[in-house]
Structure 1
Amino acid sequence: MALGHFTEQALSDWMKREGPESDIVLSSRIRLARNLRGFPFPMLATGQQSREVLDKVTEVMENEDLKELGDFSIIPLSGISELEKKVLVEKHLISPNLANESRNGAVILSENESISIMVNEEDHIRIQCLTPGFQIQEAWDMANRIDDMMESQLNFAFEEKRGYLTSCPTNVGTGLRASVMIHLPALVMTQQISRILSAVTQVGLAVRGMYGEGSDSSGNLFQISNQITLGQSEEEIIANLYSVVQQIIEHERAARERMQEDAPYRLADRIHRSFGVLSHAVILDSKEAMQRLSDVRLGIDLGLLTGIQPKTLNELLVMTQPGFLQKHSGELLTAENRDIRRAELIRERVQDNG
């Protein structure tokens, strides 16, 4: 498959499906960090060594068992533009680190984009599996299957006491990062979010923005993930995350119900005002667009707005990002022109689906 298959459409095929609790949980993700024994970590590897790693991983991808999971494309990062890399980051198919700093970096993508295997990122291999809604166990099953297949042919750096060895000490052990992308507008609007997220961090979980570490929680979107990778099994890590996220979902549902009971007209007014802005605005910066999209999504989930599909809003989350806006426009844009193009694109999508 050509690169355009992955950069021209904002909505990955897996995102077009709805999963459990999809009114609150947008997606679930499993990421496994692995390194090859006998090779320096990517940050210390020579060009030849990182090339050898890429060759070994590429060879493994010819495994017939892996082909059962679908068709895969191997995309060397050296052969694509900075704008195309940015689009892949915005679609969560590669990390900012792989886009910016990798030597002989590559990504191996499944046709529906639910599987992304990054090569020569911070670690030699990072297996990522994505599922719609709250399906963290399903994502783990898929990632574990790929991991087992690769480990049957590659000698991973592993110690009996420490587990899998990784470039960053915080990943040593299982090398597992399990996370969910969750939409919590009611908890934010009722000013309960700080208390909830403070409790989350006290049970070994991390809270980040839409694009992970260092990003903010624009659009009331939060990424909840495990912090502990050593001393717990993969099953324990996933069970802890699942339990905590289930409680967060219940708190968000309760907050939504209270808002509908206590201030229904004020809530409806906010949602319809945001729908009006998205339908008619001529200029929209990224922050306002994300907030308005959050309000409209809440309105759809509560049944206060009809005629718009949640997948349209999922698509706009990517399409309104700087990289995709410019890729879609076919040219580099100034900040103001991006805001103008963002508003135009949102108007088109919202009015077409309204």
Structure 2
Amino acid sequence: MSDLPQLWKKLRATKESKSLMSKYLTPEIYEKLKDKKTKLGGTLTDCIRSGVENLDSGVGIYASDPAAYQEFSELFDPIIKDYHKVEALYHPPTDFGNVEQLNFGDLDPSGELIVSTRVRVGRSHDSYGFPPTLNKEQRVNMERNTRDVLEKLTGELKGTYYPLDGMTPETQKKLMDDHFLFNDSDRFLKAAGGYNDWPVGRGIFFNDNKTFLVWVNEEDHLRIISMQKGGDLAAVYKRLVSGIQELEKKLQFARLPNLGYLTFCPSNLGTALRASVHVKIPKVAAMPEFKTICDEYSIQARGIHGEHTESLGGVYDISNKRRLGLTEIQAIEEMRRGVEELIRLEKGGELK
């Protein structure tokens, strides 16, 4: 029996929740959606549980499966517009740009400021639900299908897949030392069912050079990652695009014309792309205008250990803020321009 009435009662009784879900889940919307189900069995309960159990959530909602974005659109649409700061839900066709003729290369040729560069995307298999509606058998099948494709990659992308289920302590330590291993410690994801059947059906693939990674069934079905030391954004981006295109030859990813690529959390919709650098900018970060500069260039500053963490030694994680309503190459260019401006200011340039 559904515990939706209890969740709804708790949400209505509290003044603690400031999430977007609590903002837009009005009594009228609740009545419209409370009995609906997606074709995979996803319910409103699946979508709002994490936000009710964690009243300090920011977004407060996860999609039960790709179809939830349409079935529960009266709740998801205003949340997505609010989070992504867009007036209309539109997403352009995929466009990686001409990767052979990019108008950028290494953002820090001297190697003084940028420690590392990373670009990742989230992708979801179009024939599977998200964690709340996946059973163990489906999760294992999805991992098997994905692994078969990953283990056939060639050239620079060729590598090894490591399943989490049955992983030896030695391999686990090695992957943790390389900062590759994900875990089941996020309470927001846990409440949303993100760690159901842990660690079954999950694993990590990386190439021989450790510059191309794929996380299988961490938060999203796939997190495809390209990274390396230094500031050569062009090399990192080209490798990512190459990897995505190889996977697309064998796998079908969930996408909607108005939302782009579909992900478990609506915060990652659209390109589902996050391009970032770890960059040493102690002088700029100390400026009172730091946040204004970031906002002006549509970039986001975090500590190097992710969201809600502090900087270490003046090193910040700088990434593109926008994911929805623009193309992949536009998202990369926004991040590039923002990072170049921060570097210019760090080297003594004047505020514009």
Structure 2 residues without counterparts, runs of 5 or longer: 1-106
After superposition, the Cα gap between the structure-2 partners of 1:42 and 1:22, relative to the gap in structure 1 and judged at 3 Å, is farther
Could you tell me which residue of structure 2 aligns to residue 77 of structure 1?
164
Contact 1:31–1:128 (CA<8 Å) still a contact in 2? yes
Could you tell me which residue of structure 1 aligns to residue 226 of structure 2?
129
Distance of 1:60 and 1:98 partners within structure 2? 28
1:307-336 CA-to-partner distances (Å, cap 9, x unmatched) read xxxxxxxxxxxxxxxxxxxxxxxxxxxxxx
Deviation for aligned residue 1:62? 3.5
Distance of 1:146 and 1:29 partners within structure 2? 14
Which residue identity does 2:127 align to in structure 1?
G
Deviation for aligned residue 1:79? 2.5
- Percent identity reads 27
| RMSD between superposed Cα atoms in Å | 2.7
Deviation for aligned residue 1:130? 0.3
Contact 2:150–2:161 (CA<8 Å) still a contact in 1? no
Are 1:166 and 2:275 matched, yes or no?
Answer: no
Are 1:226 and 2:320 matched, yes or no?
Answer: yes
Tell me the TM-score normalized by structure 2. Answer: 0.60
Distance of 1:40 and 1:244 partners within structure 2? 36
After superposition, the Cα gap between the structure-2 partners of 1:89 and 1:183, relative to the gap in structure 1 and judged at 3 Å, is farther
The one of 116, 134, 154 aligned to 1:67: 154
Aligned length: 234
After superposition, the Cα gap between the structure-2 partners of 1:98 and 1:43, relative to the gap in structure 1 and judged at 3 Å, is farther
Could you tell me which residue of structure 2 aligns to residue 213 of structure 1?
307
Which residue identity does 1:226 align to in structure 2?
N
Distance of 1:83 and 1:34 partners within structure 2? 29
Contact 2:216–2:223 (CA<8 Å) still a contact in 1? yes
Deviation for aligned residue 1:144? 0.9
Could you tell me which residue of structure 1 aligns to residue 72 of structure 2?
none
Tell me the TM-score normalized by structure 1. Answer: 0.60
Deviation for aligned residue 1:82? 7.4
Contact 2:275–2:319 (CA<8 Å) still a contact in 1? yes
Could you tell me which residue of structure 1 aligns to residue 272 of structure 2?
175
Deviation for aligned residue 1:73? 1.2
Which residue identity does 1:80 align to in structure 2?
M
Q: How does 1:44-59 map to 2 (within 5 A)?
A: 44-59=133-148
After superposition, the Cα gap between the structure-2 partners of 1:185 and 1:91, relative to the gap in structure 1 and judged at 3 Å, is farther
Could you tell me which residue of structure 1 aligns to residue 18 of structure 2?
none
1:254-289 CA-to-partner distances (Å, cap 9, x unmatched) read 18x9xxxxxxxxxxxxxxxxxxxxxxxxxxxxxxxx
After superposition, the Cα gap between the structure-2 partners of 1:98 and 1:234, relative to the gap in structure 1 and judged at 3 Å, is farther
Distance of 1:98 and 1:116 partners within structure 2? 21
Could you tell me which residue of structure 1 aligns to residue 215 of structure 2?
118
Could you tell me which residue of structure 1 aligns to residue 334 of structure 2?
240
Deviation for aligned residue 1:112? 1.6
After superposition, the Cα gap between the structure-2 partners of 1:22 and 1:210, relative to the gap in structure 1 and judged at 3 Å, is same
Contact 1:134–1:180 (CA<8 Å) still a contact in 2? yes
Higher helix content, 1 or 2: 1
1:282-312 CA-to-partner distances (Å, cap 9, x unmatched) read xxxxxxxxxxxxxxxxxxxxxxxxxxxxxxx
1:130-170 CA-to-partner distances (Å, cap 9, x unmatched) read 02222223211111111111111011111222211111111
1:67-90 CA-to-partner distances (Å, cap 9, x unmatched) read 112541111112336796576356
Which residue identity does 1:77 align to in structure 2?
L
After superposition, the Cα gap between the structure-2 partners of 1:219 and 1:78, relative to the gap in structure 1 and judged at 3 Å, is farther
